[in-house]
A and B are shown apart, each in its own frame.
Chain A
Amino acid sequence: MGRYIVRRTLFAIPTLIVISLIIFAILDLAPGDPTSQLPLTIPAEVRERIRESLGLNDPFLVKWLKWMQLMFINEPLNAIDGIFGTCIGDCENRARIISWSSRAPAMDIIWQRLPQTMWVLGVAFVLGIVIAIPVGVYSAYKQYSWFDNAGTFVTMVGFSVPVFFTGILAILVFSVWLGWFPSFYTTTHVVDWTSWDSIWFQFEQMVMPVTVLSLFNAAALSRFTRASVLDNLNEDYVRTARSKGLRENKVVTTHVMRNSMIPVVTLIALQVPGIFAGAIITETIFRINGLGQLLIISIGQSDVPMVQTLTFMFAFLIVLFNLVADVTYGVMDPRIRYD
């Protein structure tokens, strides 16, 4: 297993370099201009000067190598300095990846947004799992029961109705008509755990986005769990367990669950990068300053360094969690050995 992990990690490095080159090439070839939002009346030479100051006119390879240096050397060094309070080399004047629209280091903006992303998407993710697995298992166990039918109906609705519809519907019902919850997320709110008002405020603003998202997450996952449990319920080992006289509870939770959770856990691990990549639509609708919203805004403003950094980060996480998923698979199923 150890060797397998090392081998996979080493293989990830060229993969990531190729990914960064592809991302870079696509963004470089794509038309678009960071000065396009300025009024049309701003003279061409001023636009040209702005582009010049952003380093936009360098040749492709120069831009890519510069970016590689910043991404793989300067930014990690800066992170180390930030965490340990050290100063490696010329830390005062170290070049950073700078966003074109805000002129601030891209990594700082991402770092600033991570808590919001984690709060809302993380809670929705965990809540989705907590709902989906029991519902899936029970639905499968009581196949075609009243509960199973209702569950199938709700998950099908949750799965097939897009978030941009449920999100806006929720705003219409709970903000416009009932006035219970705010329609947007106040990102500067710092939860003071000693104050009920503050906790309540955070709860109120999280209810709608979290519900909408976890409904969507839970729908897919519970269908998957149900199918996986159903496969296992008809296996011989279940009959054996029952004929040994084990209690039904024990049969389901220990024997069936353990076996049917193997593919489910893999699926969950593969979804983790999605927490960071954000839920672009939900974040836009509820105005949550997550990373998905940042990506969309940056694309709209042709803020190429920001888009490059974000997409590369997502690519990195996907590569990482693919590895994690494979490893968990091995841990959960002793029959699988990678060496």
Chain B
Amino acid sequence: MKKTRLLALLAVLAMVVAACGGTGEETTTTAVTGDDEATTTTSDDTTETTEAPTAGGAGEGGNLLLLQWQAVSQVNAYLSTGTKDLLAGSLVLEPLAEYDPTGAVVPALAAEIPTVENGGISEDLTQITWTLQDGIVWSDGSPLTADDVVFTWEYCSDEATGCQAAGNFVDIVSVEAVDDLTVTVTFEGAKPFPFVAFTGYSSPILQRAQFADCVGEAAVGCTEENFSPVGTGPYMVTEMRPEDTVLYEVNPNYRGFAEGRPFFGTVEIKGGGDAEATARSVLEIGEADYAWNLQVAPEILTPMEAAGIGSIAVNFTSSVEAIRVNQTDPDADPPSEYQGDPREPTGGTNPYFYDNPDLIRALSMAINREELNAVGYGVTGEPTCTFWPVGEEATTTFDWCLTQDVEGANAILDDLGYEDTDGDGIRETPDGLPLEWDYVTSTNAVRQSFQDLIAVYWEQIGVATNMSNEDAGLFFDGTCASDACIWKFFAPLQMYTNSSVGPDAATYFADYQCSAIPTSANSWGGGNIERHCTEEFDSTYEELSVTPLDDPGRIDLIHALQDDVLATSVIPLVNRGTVSAFANTIQGVGDLNGWDSEYWNVEDWTRSE
């Protein structure tokens, strides 16, 4: 009797709960859709009305809450361990020039961008002269001088500092202060694109007065300086909790202060959690203004945006997920010596891929990139046929790859004489080698679904793949402690994303020169992981590296270099965008900047209520 009563009670309770849950959900969804329409229309209206400069002085906009799921370790860009720290530094430290969202170089601390025409760059392209804007002061009130620029070079180029941007300074012979506002940088040779050192958020200017005792081995002990550098930017660090939170307040000595910039009085960068949780905070809960680097599956991210509180911003630069094709033979014996210049007799060229553009063409043609993108990235990616999908500089030679053509691919393989002679569904080369390869990538849900799909596409053209994946920590381990690292490339095919740090094609393409091949002799240092090595590439690259930026022939050289690499060594798949989320109330961000700090124009951000 007692028991039945209890059961009945439970049943009633369950029904009540279920009913509540049901109605609750319904009401929220209707409310949300209603809100959604309402907010989109109103926010559109407000965008127009707030185009006019916001009234009121600098720092009156309250707090700006930025979420970076990878928490900030420290604020000094030169000792950073990743983009997360560079971003935190970019609110405080400024370079001489910045990259805008299109990749163009725009002045920051410099009065103007030096060119050959205005005399800022010498005729032989070996010298660049920067002129600082007059009247810029550090947040402590002392003036910024050319000497600080010289110091920054000394700081980063000291080997014992452990500077992550040392590569930016490597070909600089001298940095000299001509007067208080003029500084001349001399390069080893011609440098058609000199906007690497002192440009962008990875190489800002440090104050000599603050960092003078922090050069070389002393850099490690300078915790206070690294946590709270004196800068010229719109904000100053007030509190730094490593791997957690950074608090900033407005810099009253900022050059835009008198004109009412920046709008926000304080900024907080909160770290921790994961990409999905920070996306939810901005898009669904509305408790933060910005969430960084949202590598979240499209089927999770897109519905979050439907709540109508925030929106997703995507920027495309050069982060291309691609299959890398080994030009040397991974089965050569002994394996540690095979990895050399494929033209050398000891290089051991790959029996399938070396100088065989038709095979690569067939493999590329069989891939359905639209489908791959829809599965892996959705709105945050787009199919691509080059590893440099940057505006006009992207080659269009391979644009046929956007449409899958299994028949065409089969025809190419037939023409090559690759036929399935033993009836196992796998083609063989005329020499009897089966078209069957190991295909390696890092352990990652999206990459594994890419592998699965590509294996199916290639099965249709008689190509078999043995898929495997390696832990990302080992795969991308720069010390190459294990044989799984991408630089050793002990496999015929591997897949990962590479991207350029700056918008200069010539800097990025340097990795495909024969001299950049990683080998056991150079401790696997070198960016030419595919072991792409052709006379044409090296000679064309030589030409590009002395061609001025404004030379009309430059773009043809950039196309030719891409075509050379794409013919044999790289099968691009998807251009992966940088994805961030902004609250709908945040205005003035403009296009998301993929080349520089996403906070590059934070002084222009405002909030509309």
Contact = CB atoms under 8 A, between A and B. Distances in A.
A184 B282 CA distance: 12
Interface stretch (B97-105, B242-250, B292-300): B242-250
A42 B164 CA distance: 8
Given A46-B166, A103-B226, A297-B243, A39 B477 contact: no
B243 A184 contact: no
Interface string B200-230: 0000000000000000010111110011000
B219 A109 contact: no
A184 B242 contact: no
Nearest to A283: B272
A41 interface: yes
Interface in B249-272: 268, 270-272
A41 to B, nearest CB: 5
A103 B167 contact: no
Contacts of B488: none
Interface residues of A, number: 61
B408 interface: no
Given A49-B159, A53-B217, A184-B273, A41 B527 contact: yes
A82 interface: no
A50 B164 contact: yes
Interface string A236-260: 0000000000000000000000000
B270 A186 contact: yes
Given A32-B473, A176-B285, A188-B245, A41 B499 contact: yes
B272 A293 contact: yes
Nearest to B28: A177
B81 A53 contact: no
Contacts of A287: 270-273, 277
Contact of B524 (A34, A44, A187): A44
Interface string B461-484: 000000000000110111101100
Nearest to A298: B243
A50 to B, nearest CB: 4
Given A43-B170, A176-B284, A177-B24, A183 B277 contact: yes
A105 B223 contact: yes
Interface stretch (A94-102, A226-234, A263-271, A320-328): A94-102
B74 interface: yes
Chain A interface, DSSP helix/strand/loop, else mixed:
loop
Most buried by A among B24, B170, B242, B281: B242
A33 B73 CA distance: 16
Contacts of B518: 44
B152 to A, nearest CB: 16
A37 B244 contact: no
Most buried by B among A33, A40, A98, A298: A40
A138 B500 CA distance: 66
Contacts of B227: 104
Given A31-B477, A36-B478, A104-B223, A187 B81 contact: no
B582 to A, nearest CB: 18
Interface string B506-539: 0010010000001000111111000000000000
Most buried by B among A33, A104, A183, A298: A104
B488 to A, nearest CB: 13
Given A48-B525, A177-B28, A188-B241, A39 B161 contact: no
Nearest to B226: A103
A297 B581 CA distance: 23
Given A41-B500, A44-B478, A297-B243, A49 B162 contact: yes
Question: Which 4 residue pairs across A and B have the least CB separation, nearest first?
Answer: A44-B525, A53-B162, A287-B272, A102-B242
23 contacts: A32-B477, A33-B481, A36-B473, A40-B527, A41-B508, A42-B164, A43-B170, A44-B478, A44-B518, A48-B525, A102-B242, A103-B219, A113-B244, A177-B24, A184-B281, A186-B270, A187-B241, A284-B273, A287-B272, A293-B272, A294-B243, A297-B243, A297-B272
Given A38-B478, A41-B499, 8 more contacts: A43-B525, A44-B518, A46-B170, A101-B73, A102-B242, A184-B270, A186-B245, A186-B270
